Amino acid sequence: MLYKTSKDSEKTIKMKKTPHSDAYVLEKQGILQSYFQDVMAILHPYHNNKYSTLVDKDSFDCAWQFGKEMLERPIEKLLFNDYLYLLGLVSSCEDLVGFGLQTGYIKSVKNFGIYGYALMSSSTLDQFNSVADRIFNAIYEPLIVRHDVVGEMLNISYIPISPIISNQYIPLMEQVVLCGIALMKARLPVEVDWQECIINCNYSKPTYFSQYQDYFSGQVNFDASVMQLCIPLDWLKVSNQTSNEFIYLQCEKKIDEILGGLHSRDNLSGKVRYLLLSHSFNNMPSITEVADSLYMVERTLRYKLSKEKTSFRIILNEVKSELAKRYLRESDLSVQEIAFSLGYQHTQNFYRSFSKEIGTTPEQYRKQYRNS
């Protein structure tokens, strides 16, 4: 589990926005703003009745004032880290336990702009998950999502790539999983049996466990190794009750324009790159593991990559370089911590590799970026 206790709060990573196309940033910021709006909509009834039903009025007032300040801020200045902070403030209010479940449950396609139309017009859950991953990559900056087939189940794992304070982590994970369920329910036939599904939580069973049962009829496990939503594999082929191929293709075209090919997986090297980026902190897969994920032997993977004029080593170095630059730009991690997160046993090897690839030292790169 990768989250911090409240004692580590002063070390919280401060994420910065990564440069993308104007269209991408605008779409992302619109989605992020809707997240703040959802929180305030849930808090609004308590504020309207002058906190009369609340015991912890001071904590509530702190959360309310911060959320109000965020909604008064220009949309382009909203940060996901501010949203995490708001979740932490709300979760500190003893009257609002289980708040993360509610923020996820009320999510709908209206939160996601062009992505929402693509979600609802997708013909299968497989297509749906492809779009959902793009939304996830755009919004949830400190997390990655990974899909693994285990027996007859598809395990959707939500993995931190940077530490998150514990009072932010639990409501965030509750929201992520319940948001996925809410969106799937909107597109799947009503007759599917949600009791076949499992939620694995990588934190201890909370005192408000009964609220989980209010929102989810399947099995919920705690103290798991990773946060997961597990659904029957055959659901991937279930037809979407709101599918529309024409609308889906138009949305896909628009999304590709917005993303500018950022998450393209049309060729084998793109799929390999995505698999590497989708693995957990300090745990990139070997070429054998990647080949297994793509249902081919290592020799075939090497051959096919050579036909695309690249290799696993080249792609791995590109991914490490991309992640290193992101950590240097967007976090306050030390160079030693970044080196460890990328699998380097010795910081000096990271220095040597980064300087050769980028043409400057990690410290100089961070300084140049932040002074630009």
Ranges assigned E (strand) in 142-267: 143-150, 153-160, 164-165, 198-200, 219-221, 227-232
**pLDDT score recorded for residue 117:** 82
* Residue 163 one-letter amino acid: P
Dihedral of alpha carbons 57, 58, 62, 68, sign: positive
Partners of 153 in beta bridges: 150, 232
C-alpha 330/C-alpha 310 separation (Å) is: 29
**pLDDT score recorded for residue 211:** 93
**Mean of all residue pLDDT scores within the chain:** 81
H or E element in which residue 178 lies: helix 166-187
Report residues of the chain scoring pLDDT below 50. 1-20, 261-265, 280-281
CB atoms within 10 A of CB 58: 11
Alpha helix (H) ranges present in 283-311? 287-293, 298-307
**pLDDT score recorded for residue 5:** 37
Beta strands 198-200 and 219-221 are parallel
For 210-233, write each residue's pLDDT tens digit. Answer: 999 999 999 999 999 999 999 999
Beta strands 227-232 and 3-4 are unpaired
Q: Which residue has the tokens 């991408």?
A: 24
* Residue 218 one-letter amino acid: G
C-alpha 258/C-alpha 22 separation (Å) is: 8
Q: Which residue has the tokens 């007859």?
A: 152
Q: Is 110 helix (H, G, I), strand (E, B) or coil?
A: helix
The answer to whether 16 and 330 have CB atoms below 8 angstroms apart is yes
**pLDDT score recorded for residue 312:** 93
**pLDDT score recorded for residue 196:** 95
**pLDDT score recorded for residue 308:** 87
Closest by CA to 265, choosing from 247, 249, 278, is 278
Q: Is 2 helix (H, G, I), strand (E, B) or coil?
A: coil
The answer to whether 86 and 63 have CB atoms below 8 angstroms apart is yes
**pLDDT score recorded for residue 259:** 55
The overall pTM is greater than 0.85: no
C-alpha 356/C-alpha 358 separation (Å) is: 6
For 53-93, write each residue's pLDDT tens digit. Answer: 666 688 888 999 999 999 999 888 899 999 999 999 998 88
CB atoms within 10 A of CB 133: 19
C-alpha 199/C-alpha 177 separation (Å) is: 8
**pLDDT score recorded for residue 7:** 37
Residues of the chain with CATH 1.10.10.60: 264-372
C-alpha 345/C-alpha 341 separation (Å) is: 10
C-alpha 265/C-alpha 273 separation (Å) is: 8
Architecture of the 264-372 domain: Orthogonal Bundle (1.10)
Dihedral of alpha carbons 139, 143, 144, 146, sign: negative
C-alpha 276/C-alpha 294 separation (Å) is: 12
